[in-house]
Chains A and B, each alone.
Chain A
């Protein structure tokens, strides 16, 4: 490796390895959380058998989350609970890492320096791919070590080989979708188009896998999708490595095409140029218009994701409610203050997860304000005759409105899903539950407004950190760990558990009051400090 190639390799190494370690930690902890909760949630052979019968035979559930095999074993349960989620998460991470390292560097103009050095375009791409592979290896190692350590627990009992098989299956997923990102970076510019193209590939792969898993007659369709190959690896249940073969073959083809195509295009450009918009949109004429133009697509995507999730929650509510009623989940929920069983209990959990999504939406969208400030774009707006406090307040109010609309949508769609799944739930109660699920999001929105007003550099990371910390406390306390004492610190603990419980005006009002109070303090502070730029 030449010095120039080594420098290129090192340039992407930090981001790849740091990302790989973080993703590995998350994957390992997710396995720990699911494996640790299995014995608590399903302590008897009968409850495990019920779980296996109800979900194993449900084609809708199979289509959404993958085939449910061996649900009466810890390995099968872990694979079913995590398989699809973790595969999609890791595929997205690898895809975004690849487009960041390749297309992102070209968009920023830094790739020009690499290409002008003593190395060919192909050498540069190979060095960049090597740094990505190193990050993926770091992810595999971290995941493998954590899962192996968890497996040693007597209550879990995963073998070392199954732990590493699982880690390798994640590595194969990451490798495949990183190469999808590498190839889409050759075809499309700028980065967001390359990422979107990769995302479409992932979406199509998921759709094909869904069709394959929807019935026994269409099972062969799964083999047309890379996600079907990944599913066939079936970690913790079997160690059939056949799925690695098509993954390795496709990876090699993608890498070869990327290496061949990199010299056939201009640096900074893709093969497919961005087309001019087909219709002229009205220019934004005020801050609300600007917010809608900047965040409209993102908000729509969140609403679609929220709607689909809510529909799925509603659709499986009837069968899931039966499982909940027959398991010790009811006891777990009792620890969290939810004293009910059956479908309403399940729906309360569904609305808790909806609330997590709303919190992530609210905090991430609000943190976009700090991005505007740090990029210097806010300077132009802040030198117009608009009070600076109004800039922050208006953003905060618009996000709050979006949260309320999202929560209303979630309530209505869950109700629709329940109806489509053959169950019955009062529409008003579902809407009430949806609106209640907005209260933690409004609380965190206020806190992020305050953080954005004080330290814009912290706002981006603070939102997801607060949401995940609250969620982890909630889950950990639920499965009976010592985290129970931390429950008051979780924002979700104060959310009323509709429809399992009744609407609690005091706790809902308290959450909203904290959010509004923090937001107002932020709005007061913001004009009293210097605007910052990167």
Chain B
């Protein structure tokens, strides 16, 4: 049995002249919570649809627990559960009908845990889908996937319609799944969610994989934010190597420091610093550093 939950090699998808995914190489280890990040149109959903066997790759291959998805989709589907970003369910069925149907179709599941999740997510399963809000429809799909106890849970923007309390409940449920050894692939725009849940992230842009790393590793190579207060006017630090001045007024300077802080410390020796605050970059800052205006590719 493969140690990898997902292995993609040279995965490429073309829609006519459009290259949606360009030779993606990706490995997700079993038991990992893996984040897929990227701006709109980066190829995240295409990658997920190829992983699920809903679309066929133009080139390359993708395996789920060693099973070639294109050749054996049914075997692969026995190991996974999926929550799409736009949940579309049968309007005439109740939430309970949908949960029961999805559990029966998947051929596995934990009914007791499903009931617990229904309570925790405050879902009224007796209501018809057509009367449910977007968030409540999302809950039905989330509960069905989580209660399936599948080895791999694939979430494509899973919390886009949930309120903050339910988002927190989702994070708890994901942590429970991780503790049970389940693997999770999470595509999300909510960076705080990825930051809180994922041990590793992949950044996609224009169908290409830009970077795969643990968040700690990404932070280590990213710039550090430093806020300084001086007694008297602040010195000019713009010429110091590896330093980018973000903001400067009176005795206050905000800097981005990359490649170590030795040069900054040397420059500060002749000054009187009254306050120094340093913190590592948040995922949001990392994301904007990659994709924002004036972004510098890694």
A: residues with CB less than 8 A from B are: 190, 274, 276, 280-281, 283-287, 289-290, 293-294, 375-377, 379-388, 527-531
Contact = CB atoms under 8 A, between A and B. Distances in A.
B74 interface: yes
Contact of B54 (A190, A290, A377, A382): A382
A274 B94 CA distance: 13
B104 A285 contact: yes
A461 B75 CA distance: 35
Nearest to B104: A285
Interface in B234-291: none
Chain A to chain B: the 5 pairs with minimum beta-carbon distance, closest first: A283-B100, A376-B88, A384-B105, A530-B55, A283-B97
A376 B90 CA distance: 10
A385 B89 contact: no
A380 B80 contact: no
B92 A377 contact: no
Interface in B28-74: 49, 52-56, 73-74
B131 interface: yes
B105 A190 contact: no
Interface string B93-137: 110110111101111000000000000000000111011000000
B231 interface: no
B219 to A, nearest CB: 34
Given A293-B92, A385-B78, A385-B107, A379 B102 contact: no
Nearest to A374: B88
A381 B80 CA distance: 12
24 contacts: A281-B97, A283-B94, A283-B99, A283-B101, A284-B101, A285-B100, A293-B97, A375-B88, A376-B84, A376-B88, A377-B88, A377-B89, A380-B82, A380-B84, A380-B89, A380-B141, A381-B105, A382-B54, A383-B77, A384-B77, A385-B77, A386-B105, A387-B73, A387-B74
B106 A294 contact: no
A380 B127 CA distance: 20
Interface centre among B49, B80, B101, B128 (most CB of A within 10 A): B101
Contact of A284 (B78, B82, B93, B127): B93
B86 interface: yes
Contacts of A280: 126
Nearest to A529: B56
B147 to A, nearest CB: 14
Nearest to A384: B105
B74 A283 contact: no
Contacts, number: 91
Contacts of B141: 380
Contact of A384 (B75, B86, B106, B127): B106
B73 to A, nearest CB: 7
A18 to B, nearest CB: 26
A383 B93 contact: no
A284 B97 contact: yes
A282 to B, nearest CB: 9
A218 B130 CA distance: 45
A290 B105 CA distance: 11
Given A286-B104, A379-B82, A380-B82, A274 B55 contact: no
A284 B99 CA distance: 10
B54 A530 contact: yes
Given A386-B74, A528-B56, A530-B55, A294 B105 contact: no
B102 A384 contact: yes
A385 B106 contact: yes
Given A283-B100, A285-B100, A286-B104, A383 B54 contact: yes
B55 A379 contact: no
Contacts of A386: 74, 77, 105
A274 B127 CA distance: 11
A290 B131 CA distance: 19
Contact of A285 (B54, B84, B90, B101): B101
Given A283-B99, A379-B54, A383-B52, 16 more contacts: A276-B126, A280-B126, A283-B93, A283-B94, A283-B100, A283-B101, A284-B93, A284-B101, A287-B105, A289-B101, A375-B88, A380-B82, A382-B52, A383-B82, A384-B105, A530-B49
A108 to B, nearest CB: 12
B101 A290 contact: yes
A384 B128 CA distance: 22
Contacts of A383: 52-54, 77, 80-82
Contacts of A284: 93, 97, 100-101, 104
B137 to A, nearest CB: 11
A376 B129 CA distance: 15
Contact of A388 (B73, B92, B127): B73
A383 B78 CA distance: 9
B136 to A, nearest CB: 15
Contacts of A528: 56
Contacts of B100: 283-285
Nearest to B86: A376
B130 to A, nearest CB: 6
A12 B197 CA distance: 46
Contacts of A379: 52, 54, 82, 84, 88
Nearest to B127: A276
Nearest to A290: B101
A190 B130 contact: yes
A387 B84 CA distance: 20
B101 A530 contact: no
A286 B54 contact: no
Nearest to A528: B56
B78 A377 contact: no
Contacts of A380: 82, 84, 88-89, 102, 141
Nearest to B80: A383
Nearest to B54: A531
Contacts of A293: 90, 92-93, 97
Nearest to B81: A383
A381 B81 CA distance: 11
